[in-house]
Chains A and B, each alone.
Chain A
């Protein structure tokens, strides 16, 4: 199990009408459940549901578009970060 933080920057309009950057950080608990990669979103505004199964990914895809097994959790996390457009730093 590994907790990761996905960072994304979006542009919003502030109270003065200026477009400004806003950084959004989301925390995920990442696990391999058997051969399935799972990313659980940590929810802060709902104490009844502290985490939500955000992604349930049994496979990755090869270059031909065929489904193949994950190598390990680290590979799956790297893929997940890429798919979520995670910004390092």
Chain B
């Protein structure tokens, strides 16, 4: 009887997942058909998807391997500039590099966007590998400071006058072609996130988690700490680079200021709010934060109620509200929206059930009760049996 229930529950969850998936596809088809009419919403969703990808890859390092790295903006910059340099149409390049001229090396170097995105990812991963060798010997806050520093170095390097003929220095790059359609961008993000999830669920993911939990114990299991930290850092940077490349294509024009520390903090905010160590949390956080900022624009406009001009409603007020909301979330959901859990339909249905039948003990407290301290006796009984 119980197993039957379980199976029917599983089917129910599967139907829910399929329904949500189909809804997303339909929404995508609808937006693709009416791109120009809904360009505002589309823009927010695309940015959310890109941030989700970067947040998930940051979560791989921070949440699953326990390395507090703040180098995201730097690796995004590498990916973005690689994509920009490789995909600006050759005919338009003189116009982009009108101030300093273009280096003959890259003048005719052109790639289709998908190849450029992969190249951006690989280049970011390569830089991460080099940076990782000295930096990953550090722990916790020190690692964060060092990666933050490297991220700024990358940015300063890109903006330096010596690289004017390659990165166009402080003028930035423009005329970066956009995506052929919405399916491409959402498809790329989804595939990349799926790859990261596969990695996390593999035996590699288990090793990453072991390192996060206890480095000494992990080492005592024979795990080569440096090798796996470096692996996690490089893979995360690869996908961050891809995210940066996508961002460059989405924005069309980039300069080094796009990749300031504030961008890393945006991503960090998403990861923390969504739940450190939860992939679905990061995705949820990316969409909530990116769109939340826009929806709150309502507070930026003057508001007149019954002839009275309500004070405070003026430009910038939405950021105040946004900050208060964030503080509330951090105070009341200390581990983020999802904690270290992943989204499951079971949890959603249980939430409704709990609401409907208040007073019935939740599953979790039952577990706690089960293994309270009478364990002492039970262990011995088990031993004798």
Is this pair of chains taken from one and the same complex?
A: no
**A contact residues vs B (CB 8 Å cutoff):** none
